[in-house]
Structure 1
Amino acid sequence: MDIAVLTFLALGLPFVVALVAPALTRLLGHNAAWILALVPAAVFAHFLRFVPEVSNGEIVTGGYVWIPSFNVSFSWLIDGLSLTFVLLISGIGALIVLYSGGYLKGHPHQGRFFSFILMFMGSMQGLVASDSFLMLFVFWELTSITSFLLIGFDHGREAARRAALQALVVTGGGGLLLLAGLLILWNVSGITQFSLLLSFGSELKQSPFYLAVLLLVLGGAFTKSAQFPFHFWLPNAMEAPTPVSAYLHSATMVKAGVYLLMRLNPVLGGTPEWQILLPLFGVTTLVAGAALAVRQTDLKLMLAYTTMSSLGLLVMLTGLGEPYAIEAAALYLVAHALFKGALFMVAGIIDHETGSRNLTELGGLRSAMPLTFAIALGAALSMGGLPPFFGFLAKEEIYAALSAADLRSIVFAALAILGNALMFAVAFAIALNPFLGPKASTPLHPHEAPVQLWLGPAVLALKGLSLALMSGLAHRLISSPMASAIAGEPRSVEISLVPHIGAPLLLSVVTVAAGVGFYLSLARLRGAMATILADFGWGPDRGFDQFMRALVRSAVAVTRRFQSGRLDVYMTVTFILVAVVLLAIPFRYGEFPRAPFFAADVPLHELAIMIIAVAGLAAIMVAPDRLTAIVSLGVQGFAVAMIFLLYGAPDLSFTQFMIETLSVVVLALVMTRLRLSPSDHRPLRQKLPDLAIALACGLGFCLLLLRATGVPFNASLTEFFNQYSKSIAHGANVVNVIIVDFRGTDTLGEITVVMIAGLAILALVRLRAGALKRAAAGAEKVVDEQDVEERV
């Protein structure tokens, strides 16, 4: 089968299987995970075929035309960056599906969970593989929607619902910023595909719209990747089941923003704005996340805040522009996905087998859970940047990028050491404290997890070890192609486990020493952070609640102000706006029509029709009741229909006659049914504003028609319809062909509007009739009760 067809099927396969996942789970129970895991495994195997091609520096593109007139296509771009992400998403996804089978065993909605996780997997794969701007945005928003479903999976708890809504609002709002940035980028460059945009970097950086594009793109990326001050949704998302935390918030969704920045680095990077904003926000997020992680005792929250810290480190490295920074970002992204996914699953195993994930309530689990302890230790060694794990290579490359002697590098290196040392302490607190020391009493009797739970983290921990041991092959196939794609030029990653004496190794030693010190004084650090946070009393998380409350209150106030429930108010506002639009333009731009020419010899029959129309208008104004006014209103429509007939449009005249007749009949019947016969008894001072609005609208339409008819007639549309009505639509009646064929969708919309209006009128009539019947029945009941009382 053609490779393009296979790629299209691979991108769509998770969505298709998501439809059958609930039924399959009902049939096989938690064992369905073994079958469902074959889906991401098959996707992984398909994209693995691109590794030799991409490692040789080639870029694979393909796709299908979507909207040709706007140059929009469903297209993909496979290079070192997107291929690494797709392999991480599908590979870790297969392990997560297996893990979910064991973790949610017996859950009544496990099938629905599988469906959600597969839909998210497909959305994330589509995002990182997208070549088209629109395709990326569609999948970007799908990740927000599917993550909302996953975070709020346990929707019976208020905390889960709040966390899901918070994530959706923050990331969805960032998605709108990204859409605006992509639209400006499209208009500036005329390009809709990333593969073509890579050669447009110099022109875009010189454009006056560069800063606007940069800020909008950063808004989308920072909200998605939880950069300070948009970080608060990420820790709250830990309300989701642990498989969600291990997948969305360590290896996939939260890295979508980082992916976007890396993808656009060749186009937007290298400018002073880029090299100031990204490192500044990144290093702030790095330090803040690590400090907040120290404060926590919940294993998942500790990992969540260190994920925030790691994302800040990746953003900082992407924006630095220093030698080795891009290579360090590529290495750390892979290392983080491996060790953080493993540690999240370890936290889930501890919670699942002991009934607690509070660090202060755990201890002595090594004898009961030796395999889990070994996995946790291996992942922590990589997170701490110790050999012989892949995290060590990433940390060495980070410090190689920060080892210059200038003040900027020194400051960022010091802050990076602080953040990495705090993450070192948290990593070993998670890997050691629950397993060493005296055995603690836990809600459940601890024992080793089943294979579905430990297989995933074991594979990830071993992968972090094997990539480091085979670093040369890993760099050639993964790290170097990825770094080259981020940089937009060939890059070669050469770091290995062999110690390189120099500044990077010295900074690593300082980090480890500080990390050990932080670990030994973790309790004091936790207390100090608690005191500091208590003094603040306000933060982005609480600010989000205040923002949402203010938003709801303002929405209620605006609704009450502008949606009063009174039809006369709505009509008045509508006609005022119509009058303003019609009159403001001529007065603002001086587009008044020439004075109309009135012929002296107007035919008598035309004059008679005008007199009838005026007489109908007078009859409306002096009508004693509304029913008479409605009938008189029909005189206006009949007069217009006669004008159509006199000027050679009999079909239009017939339509007008039908509309006016039906309108008068329907309105008369409705008015009679609703008993709205009394006339308007308002005083003159209340009628005058309505008169002024009516005159303004009439004057506006009069000026518009005079201006439009004063323009020389353009017969191009007439010629088009005359030429093609018979040959294309096979109709001799041009007007009918226009309505049914050329404007078929418009006509369908008009019919739909009329139908909805008719249904609304019918509902009002029945509602009023039902209310009258209930009122009459109530009155009869009261009379009967009074009669009974009198007789007694």
Structure 2
Amino acid sequence: MTASLPSPDASLSGLLTLLLLGLPLAGALLAAPLARLLGSRAAWILALFPAAAFLILCGEADAVRQGAVLLSGFDWIPSYGMRFSFRLDGLSLVFGLLITGIGTLIVLYSGGYLTGHRDLGRFFTFILLFMAAMLGLVLSDDLMTLIVYWELTSITSFLLIGFDHERERARRGAIQALVITGGGGLALMAGLVLIREILGLTSMTEVLASGDALRDSAFYLPILLLVLGGAFTKSAQMPFHVWLPNAMEAPTPVSAYLHSATMVKAGVYLLMRLNPALGETLLWETILPLFGGVTLVGGALLALRQTDLKLILAYTTVASLGLLVMLIGVGSALALEAAVLYLVAHALFKGALFMVAGSVDHGAGSRDLLKLGGLRRAMPITFAAALLAALSMGGVLPFFGFLAKEVIYEATASADWRGIVLTLTAIAGNALMFAAAFLVALKPFVGEKPAALDHPHEGPVLIWIGPLVLGLAGLFAALVSGTTHEWLTSPMASAVIGTPVAITISAVPHLGLAFALSMLTLAIGAGLYLAAGPIRSAVDGALVRIGWGPDRGFDQAMRGLLKLSFAVTAKLQSGRLDRYMTTAFVVIAAALLVPMAVTGAWPSVPAMPQLTVSEWAVSALLVVGLVSVVVARSRLTAIVSLGIQGFAVALLFILLGAPDLSFTQFMIETLSVVILALVMTRLKLWVEDRRPLRETLHDAAIAAVAGIGIGLLLLRITQVPFDPVMSDFFTRYSYAIAHGRNIVNVIIVDFRGIDTLGEIAVVMTTGLAILALIRIRVSKRRVTAADPTEATP
């Protein structure tokens, strides 16, 4: 690691960036036809796309190792200062390598696990789309680009979790994940918009270079809470954790990918990325350890309650995410180094263990811990991969998980009460996860094989290659820890901390307090493994006595939301046109009069203008038409009288020298009257208005207030000095650009031609809808005439 601060002055080739982001998308486009043509063998070809992206990132690793921050991108919406921009530093490099490297193994694993599945092509498409979204998220530099990719990960994970959409549990898990993470995404978007609009920071590069700008801002608290809302929901911090275990309804390759390197790590990535700008405050160092510590211990306890291999691993993922959040919130450089080491270790061992769980399910036909045993002879490669991963997860020498655990205890162990609480929390969580790891990796393989297990067998190479590679990677990364730190963890920690650091922890034991705590953890973990049965019963009994929980609360919240929406809809969408019209006019009147009343911006009383005889005549015609509408006894008479107003306005246009506009007004008014009259004759309405006097006065009052509001607004507008900018523009350019001398026509056809086209499309669509309704009504009448019993009730 160099001794100089990273500086965002280097550039990453734009073509290389597009290739990097586009490779998974290209694979997604080819997935379906390749799967139809080659079946599961398509996995070998499709795995080349993420593998190529992995190699591209490896090619940039040397520059990042030397302290460079590589930027690339292009203008997206220049008028709003938005760029489609990307940033490659130590943090995004390691995440990108995990996403593409583990993603390559997941694609291969999927081909073996889902061999013969009718929707294999669809699955490959979804997993590669998700990979592209996650890769874009960790590389994004522009804040709005990050939001776009953040939401894309929620959408694509929804598709993956609900892949087996014919099962109700899969649909529920997908919806729950989308609602919780999507809601957090909205909170994050609000937080990033605050950063952008209030502080003027548009990219991560600017945010990280802003020093204490965010911490000193009056909006620090809302920004922090909104960002944490996005991070905590995505990374399943309690009580938002419930979506993650329910996401196990997805096929095992999805679970392995979401839990190891992608979806659940997105929130952790965000916290690590923003640590230099938002961290080192009392709120940061209180909220994160609190939520992280509770999630660590709670998730680990819930893991021991389960008997399904995937659910055990799911809850240990919750616990691991809690540990990461707790370490990020501790605030020291050593704690952040520990978080970096544990994140890498977790990605390797958790991806391997999930694939092991799928391999056991594939080869033995069950994931129930109570129905498994004695599989080591039938599935030796899977057993070896499981042990390698579990030893790393348990923090046993000489695996990479041991290195992470050593630094965790070095970071938390101190004599003050805060250090004692953090250390005890870390010991409890790690010991529980040790027990859970070996329940998955040891329990199904040792002992006697149950008679119910019929011919368990090792899966094909596509199934066992992934967990074996990841298990060996956890060992190899520790054995060559110096190289691992130089190329991966030190640059990543430097990006998270904001200053250059060099991690030096190795697999060689260093006697001290941290090593003693590691040994204590192993001893407690072994005891918990042996007592797993009683612990499972105790935790299960406690939860049964408590009863209510966040998962049930989610269902109650969704039911409450549905009931509320039905109640609001029944109230607002009653199906009565008169209520809709009343509501609309009340809102219009309030929108017009309330601002003038609050601000006191009433118009001044105008002087009586000097009108000509013709203008007095037209004004009298307007009054006559108004009175005729009010006193008309017949609806048809009222409609015809209403047309008087439009014709009078057309006469005013003639008097003011706008004959073309007058002609348009005449045509529109004539058509309106004719259409309204025709509609009224088709509807089953009373010929006369038979409302009681109370309703008439009520409606008249609303109409009068709305009319007064519109009149006052027009008076206020006419009393404002006229701004001729737009008039001069159209006068100057109507002929020069659009070659039309009629300014009104030019505005409608040329300057706002797309708007006019939209209006025409709306009218056409409305006409088609009316025609369809008329045809349906006519066909119903014909059916009734032919056979009354077939009429729709």
Q: Bin the TM-score by the shorter chain.
A: over 0.9
In structure 2, the CA distance between the partners of 1:31 and 1:668, relative to structure 1 (3 Å rule), is same
1:193 aligns with 2:203: yes
Q: Partner amino acid for 2:89? A: D
- 1:768 deviates by 4.7
In structure 2, the CA distance between the partners of 1:449 and 1:765, relative to structure 1 (3 Å rule), is closer
Counterpart of 2:391 (choices 342, 366, 381) is 381
1:481 aligns with 2:491: yes
Superimposed CA distance per residue, residues 76-125 of structure 1 (whole angstroms, 9 cap, x where no aligned partner): 00000001001100110110011000100011111100011011000000
1:641 aligns with 2:650: yes
- Structure 1 stretches of 5 or more lacking a match? 783-792
Which stretch of structure 1 is more off in the superposition, 343-352 or 245-254? 245-254
1:750 aligns with 2:754: no
1:178 aligns with 2:188: yes
Paired residues for 1:455-534 under 5 Å: 455-534=465-544
Which residue of structure 1 aligns with residue 710 of structure 2?
701
Which residue of structure 1 aligns with residue 419 of structure 2?
409
1:124 aligns with 2:134: yes
**2:497, 2:201 → 1: CA distance?**
20
**1:554, 1:681 → 2: CA distance?**
35
Which stretch of structure 1 is more off in the superposition, 731-740 or 233-242? 731-740
Task: Give the 3-state SS of the residue equivalent to 1:703 in structure 2.
Answer: helix
2:235–2:267 CA contact under 8 A, matched in 1: yes
Paired residues for 1:48-87 under 5 Å: 48-87=58-97
1:591 aligns with 2:625: no
- 1:567 deviates by 1.0
Task: Give the 3-state SS of the residue equivalent to 2:240 in structure 1.
Answer: coil
Superimposed CA distance per residue, residues 680-725 of structure 1 (whole angstroms, 9 cap, x where no aligned partner): 1222222111111111111111100001001111111112222233
**1:62, 1:262 → 2: CA distance?**
21
- 1:19 deviates by 2.4
Which residue of structure 1 aligns with residue 38 of structure 2?
28
- 1:745 deviates by 3.2
Counterpart of 1:285 (choices 295, 303, 307) is 295
Which stretch of structure 1 is more off in the superposition, 583-592 or 764-773? 764-773
Counterpart of 1:689 (choices 692, 695, 698) is 698
Task: Give the 3-state SS of the residue equivalent to 2:641 in structure 1.
Answer: helix
TM-score by length of 2: 0.96
Which residue of structure 2 aligns with residue 658 of structure 1?
667
Which residue of structure 2 aligns with residue 789 of structure 1?
none
Counterpart of 1:46 (choices 56, 60, 67) is 56
Which residue of structure 2 aligns with residue 609 of structure 1?
618
- 1:621 deviates by 2.4
Q: Partner amino acid for 1:547? A: A
Task: Give the 3-state SS of the residue equivalent to 2:287 in structure 1.
Answer: helix
In structure 2, the CA distance between the partners of 1:2 and 1:281, relative to structure 1 (3 Å rule), is closer
1:735 aligns with 2:753: no
Query: How well do the aligned residues superpose, as a CA RMSD in angstroms?
Result: 1.7
Counterpart of 2:312 (choices 302, 305, 311) is 302
- 1:49 deviates by 0.9
Counterpart of 1:336 (choices 315, 330, 346) is 346
**1:280, 1:355 → 2: CA distance?**
40
1:582 aligns with 2:592: yes
1:713 aligns with 2:722: yes
**1:638, 1:774 → 2: CA distance?**
44
1:387–1:497 CA contact under 8 A, matched in 2: yes
- 1:675 deviates by 5.2
- 1:736 deviates by 2.1
1:21–1:114 CA contact under 8 A, matched in 2: yes
**1:36, 1:778 → 2: CA distance?**
59
1:238–1:304 CA contact under 8 A, matched in 2: yes
- 1:646 deviates by 1.3
Which residue of structure 2 aligns with residue 12 of structure 1?
22
Superimposed CA distance per residue, residues 384-403 of structure 1 (whole angstroms, 9 cap, x where no aligned partner): 01111111111111111012
Counterpart of 1:318 (choices 317, 328, 336) is 328
Which residue of structure 1 aligns with residue 8 of structure 2?
none
Q: Partner amino acid for 2:706? A: C
1:330–1:482 CA contact under 8 A, matched in 2: yes
Q: Partner amino acid for 2:262? A: T
**2:339, 2:738 → 1: CA distance?**
60
1:545 aligns with 2:545: no
Superimposed CA distance per residue, residues 115-141 of structure 1 (whole angstroms, 9 cap, x where no aligned partner): 110110000000000001111111111
Q: Partner amino acid for 1:480? A: S
Q: Partner amino acid for 1:289? A: G
Which residue of structure 1 aligns with residue 6 of structure 2?
none
Which residue of structure 2 aligns with residue 671 of structure 1?
680
Which residue of structure 2 aligns with residue 103 of structure 1?
113
Superimposed CA distance per residue, residues 192-244 of structure 1 (whole angstroms, 9 cap, x where no aligned partner): 11012111130211111001000000000000000011001101110110000
- 1:676 deviates by 4.4
- Structure 2 stretches of 5 or more lacking a match? 1-10
Number of corresponding residues:
781
In structure 2, the CA distance between the partners of 1:287 and 1:2, relative to structure 1 (3 Å rule), is closer
- 1:441 deviates by 2.8
Q: Partner amino acid for 2:612? A: P
Superimposed CA distance per residue, residues 441-461 of structure 1 (whole angstroms, 9 cap, x where no aligned partner): 345411111100001111111
Q: Partner amino acid for 1:288? A: G
- 1:15 deviates by 2.1
